Amino acid sequence: MVVIQVFQQNVIAMVWDFDRTLIRGYMQEPLFADHNIDPGAFWKEVNALPARYEKQGLRVARESAYLNHILSYAWTGKFQGLSNEMLRGYGARLEFYDGMPDFMDQIAESIATDEEYRRHDITVEHYIVSTGLLQIIEGSAVRDTVKDIWASEFIEEPLEVGGHLRFAVDGNLPLGGSDKTITQVGYVIEDTTKTRALFEINKGVNVERSVDVNGVMAEGERRVPFTNMICIADGPSDVPMFSVVKRSGGKTFAVYDPRDTKHFEQVSLLAEQERVISSFPADYSHGSEAWLWLHRAATQIADSIVERREAALRKATGSGPAHVTQDPADPESGPASNGSAL
């Protein structure tokens, strides 16, 4: 039986959280600033929603409550005319930590230009998996550097209901209205669905759409083995993601804002609980602690890919034991050989 390996498993995936991992604060800050909304008051309201709805006999997902609260602000005019285009504009105003996003290109280039790694076509891909808003990330400086993004999304124009909700002859569904204000939650990423994103990267769902993330796929057939993953994040919402990657042989790191003592304590706890290999300040400039740790992790994975592929090649070609190579200074040391088998 001939086994066809669809994916070569020579991709190193660096999976990043966004808020306080790549940027100094939270991505919604420009939105609040433009509409004179107190962020503290907004998040206090969000945190109170589950208990408030519970009193009405309703169960509300904590992780998606803030998305619905943004919609409430949009509908009531506090976020007047909020659209996906506006969200992308807020992304362009985000301040990244030192060294970002240049670091992403630099580490990818360092692997791609290494002669040994290049022989095996080893590459680095960057992914963002965030509970934040996809359109804000899309508008940020990091977008052109990452291969794919998993984050929450809003719908502006919902489909018409009733008799109009059917496929047209050309396969398209009619859209209703022309108002671009966000109206519905389209996609939600929260703590546990972050792990689904990991499995989609693992199986190559984002590259080969015919692959079903829930389908059976042998480890050797998956595009990015978990051993080829590096996960970088900062908070409790990333614990499920850390657990999957670390348990499966990948590398996990936590970063913190050195100006924020509480953030340092939060990240230190992750390290003490051994959820991550190490933690360091979120400074990605050349020669920083983050730069050194992450380059080391990438080269370790690249070395393991080379070793695995060359071992497979030796097995496939049936390379035999090498002869002793003749020493030119000693004619009696034995016949010269390149070690190839007949």
How is the chain split into domains, by residue range? 11-167+175-317
Mean pLDDT value of segment 119-142: 97
Q: What is the pLDDT of residue 324?
A: 47
Q: What is the pLDDT of residue 135?
A: 98
Q: Look up tokens 């030796």; give the residue.
A: 314
Question: Could you tell me the pLDDT band of residue 199, with boundaries at 50, 70 and 90?
Answer: very high
Question: Could you tell me the pLDDT band of residue 179, with boundaries at 50, 70 and 90?
Answer: low
Q: What is the pLDDT of residue 312?
A: 78
Please determine, for residue 336, whether its predicted confidence score (pLDDT) is greater than 90. no
Mean pLDDT value of segment 218-241: 91
Q: What is the pLDDT of residue 329?
A: 54
Question: Could you tell me the pLDDT band of residue 236, with boundaries at 50, 70 and 90?
Answer: confident
Give the chain's mean pLDDT.
86
Q: What is the pLDDT of residue 167?
A: 45
Q: Could you tell me whether strands 148-155 and 251-256 are parallel, antiparallel, or unpaired per DSSP bridges?
A: unpaired
Q: Using CA atoms, how far apart are residues 62 and 49, in angstroms rounded to an integer? A: 8
Question: Could you tell me the pLDDT band of residue 217, with boundaries at 50, 70 and 90?
Answer: confident
Q: Using CA atoms, how far apart are residues 152 and 60, in angstroms rounded to an integer? A: 17
User: Between 3.40.50.1000, 3.30.70.1230, 3.30.9.10, 3.40.50.720, what CATH number should domain 11-167+175-317 receive?
Assistant: 3.40.50.1000
Mean pLDDT value of segment 4-27: 89
pTM for the model stands at: 0.85
User: Residue 305 — φ and ψ, nearest 5°?
Assistant: -65, -45
Q: What is the pLDDT of residue 2?
A: 37
Q: What is the pLDDT of residue 175?
A: 47
Mean pLDDT value of segment 228-238: 93
Burial class of 14 by CB neighbour count within 10 A (0 to 12, 13 to 18, 19+): buried
Q: Could you tell me whether strands 278-281 and 251-256 are parallel, antiparallel, or unpaired per DSSP bridges?
A: parallel
Please determine, for residue 204, whether its predicted confidence score (pLDDT) is greater than 60. yes
Token pair belonging to 155:
């719908």
Question: Could you tell me the pLDDT band of residue 61, with boundaries at 50, 70 and 90?
Answer: confident
Please determine, for residue 276, whether its predicted confidence score (pLDDT) is greater than 50. yes
Q: What is the pLDDT of residue 176?
A: 46
Mean pLDDT value of segment 189-201: 93
Q: Using CA atoms, how far apart are residues 61 and 76, in angstroms rounded to an integer? A: 22
Residue type, 54: E
Most confident of 1-15, 233-247, 315-329: 233-247
Q: Using CA atoms, how far apart are residues 84 and 136, in angstroms rounded to an integer? A: 8
User: Residue 24 — φ and ψ, nearest 5°?
Assistant: -70, -30
Residue type, 45: E
Q: What is the pLDDT of residue 52?
A: 92
Please determine, for residue 68, whether its predicted confidence score (pLDDT) is greater than 60. yes
Kindly report which listed range (99-103, 237-241, 312-316) carries the lowest average pLDDT score.
Answer: 312-316
Angle at which helix 193-203 crosses helix 239-247, to 10 degrees, equals 40
Please determine, for residue 277, whether its predicted confidence score (pLDDT) is greater than 80. yes
Report the percent of the chain where pLDDT is more than 90.
70
Question: Could you tell me the pLDDT band of residue 210, with boundaries at 50, 70 and 90?
Answer: low
Question: Could you tell me the pLDDT band of residue 265, with boundaries at 50, 70 and 90?
Answer: very high
Partners of 320 in the β-ladder:
none
The answer to whether residues 31 and 139 touch, using CB atoms and an 8 Å cutoff, is no
